[in-house]
Amino acid sequence: MTRSLPGVADVARLAGVSTATVDRVLNRRPGVRPATVQRVVQAAAELEYLPRHELHAALAPEPMQLLFILPDRSSRFLRMLGEWVGYSQEHWSPFNVNCKTAFIQSFDPEALAGMLRRRGPKVDGVAFMALEHPLVREAVDRLAELGVPSITLVSDLSHSQRVAYVGLDNRAAGRTAAYLIGRFLGPARRAKVVMIAGSLSYRAHEEREAGFIQLLAEQYPQLRLLDLREGYDDERTNYRQTRALLEQHTDLAAIYNIGGGAEGVGRALKESGQEHRVVFVGHGLTPDTRALLIDGTMDALINQSPQSAILTCVRIFTNLRDRRDMMSGVEATRSQVIFRENLP
């Protein structure tokens, strides 16, 4: 006599629940208590109703959906950050998360706020590089009201309901850059120094500028700081800005590139024959800045690990999901000063 295969009713009878409850559990629908889920899965296992791997899938929660929003035509470092979100998906599997990247027009607060409003409510957490603007702040606060946590990445957003900021202490980074340039030039030298920012709409760039100015005033008052230029993290714009500066100030002694587009600054220095005379300090280890360090055009850069930044965001989101302390297992973001001689 052929043994009949078990059905949903058999599983429900053994688990002591309704067939509707069995259906919800095995199809991973919400609304069933964890203890009831365990009983249904155990009953299904005893009856061999489903293969064991499908039963494990029924017990496993859905992956947390995380979205990283980054500028689309910004610095090479930020592009690397976005690439790491995709390339490192296997690293996130122990956290049971699914990470995706969305790109927006650089330096456009309306585009950023719109992306936060459209995509934010559809995911479980959003990490983004913030622009200081009321529209962005309002979008973040709206997500908080909906229960969607947001993390600012690389650049923070003041007076908002974001849950955390992941990135450098940017005022300290600016002070570090000023200290390096002051030491390179020497305490007795009177010289001209210039800063090139991506955009001061990034709080990170504004804070780096403030830290830079502060330390020069404290320790190197003999250095003359020229007006800040904005290059919008664009190689060609930084090239034009640097060429104009070198032509206008033949005694220019140092450049601090606050944001991206370092390759444009380097190209202008090389074409002018100033690559080994003008001190050049910047941010972010990329293939381009690595080449500038190796050939001596760039003297030093301040770096943060893109991999560590993403992992920190993932840890914070999963801590919130699992109702642990938000910063449990999270290490503080560390900056690294890199020279040609200590290139990793």
Find the mean pLDDT for residues 127-155: 97
pLDDT at residue 88 above 50? yes
Give 114's contacts (C-beta < 8 A, 6+ positions apart). Answer: 139
Find the mean pLDDT for residues 197-217: 96
Return the percentage of the chain with pLDDT > 70, whole number: 94
Question: Under a CB-based contact definition with an 8 Å cutoff, are residues 189 and 220 in contact?
Answer: no
Give 124's contacts (C-beta < 8 A, 6+ positions apart). Answer: 64, 65, 66, 148, 317, 321
User: Predicted confidence band at 27 (pLDDT cuts at 50, 70, 90)?
Assistant: confident
Question: Under a CB-based contact definition with an 8 Å cutoff, are residues 66 and 76 in contact?
Answer: no
pLDDT at residue 1 above 60? no
Q: Which residue has the higher pLDDT, 341 or 51?
A: 341
Find the mean pLDDT for residues 189-214: 95
pLDDT at residue 87 above 80? no
Highest mean pLDDT: which range of 1-15, 24-38, 118-132: 118-132
The CA distance from 109 to 79, in Å, is 19
pTM of structure: 0.83
pLDDT at residue 74 above 70? no
The CA distance from 220 to 213, in Å, is 10
The CA distance from 33 to 4, in Å, is 30
pLDDT at residue 163 above 90? yes
Find the mean pLDDT for residues 140-157: 97
DSSP characters for 12-44? HHHHTS-HHHHHHHHTT-S---HHHHHHHHHHH
Nearest C-alpha neighbor of 113 from the set 89, 133, 83: 133
Nearest C-alpha neighbor of 149 from the set 327, 321, 329: 321
Return the percentage of the chain with pLDDT > 90, whole number: 70
pLDDT at residue 2 above 60? no
pLDDT digits (tens, 9 = 90+) for 92-136: 778 889 999 999 988 999 999 999 999 999 999 999 999 999 999
Tokens of 96: 């049971």
Residue 90 pLDDT: 73
Tokens of 324: 């642990």
Residue 73 pLDDT: 65
pLDDT at residue 63 above 90? no
Nearest C-alpha neighbor of 68 from the set 33, 32, 20, 115: 115
Rounded (to 5) percent helix, strand, coil in the chain: 50, 15, 35
Nearest C-alpha neighbor of 170 from the set 224, 130, 218: 130
Residue 55 pLDDT: 67
Helix, strand or coil, per DSSP, at residue 299: coil
Which letter does DSSP use for residue 270 in this model? H
Give 294's contacts (C-beta < 8 A, 6+ positions apart). Answer: 340, 343
pLDDT at residue 57 above 70? no
Ranges of beta strands (E only) in 5-132 are: 64-71, 97-104, 125-128
pLDDT digits (tens, 9 = 90+) for 310-332: 999 999 999 999 889 999 989 88
Which uninterrupted H or E stretch holds 116? Answer: helix 109-119
Nearest C-alpha neighbor of 185 from the set 215, 220, 161, 157: 220
Find the mean pLDDT for residues 282-296: 96
pLDDT digits (tens, 9 = 90+) for 254-288: 999 999 999 999 999 999 999 999 999 999 999 99
pLDDT at residue 3 above 60? no
Residue 53 pLDDT: 67
Q: How far is CA 342 from the centre of its chain?
A: 24
Find the mean pLDDT for residues 56-71: 82
Query: Residue 79: beta bridge partners?
Result: none
Residue 47 pLDDT: 84
Place of tokens 């780096």: 208
Share the mean pLDDT of the chain: 91
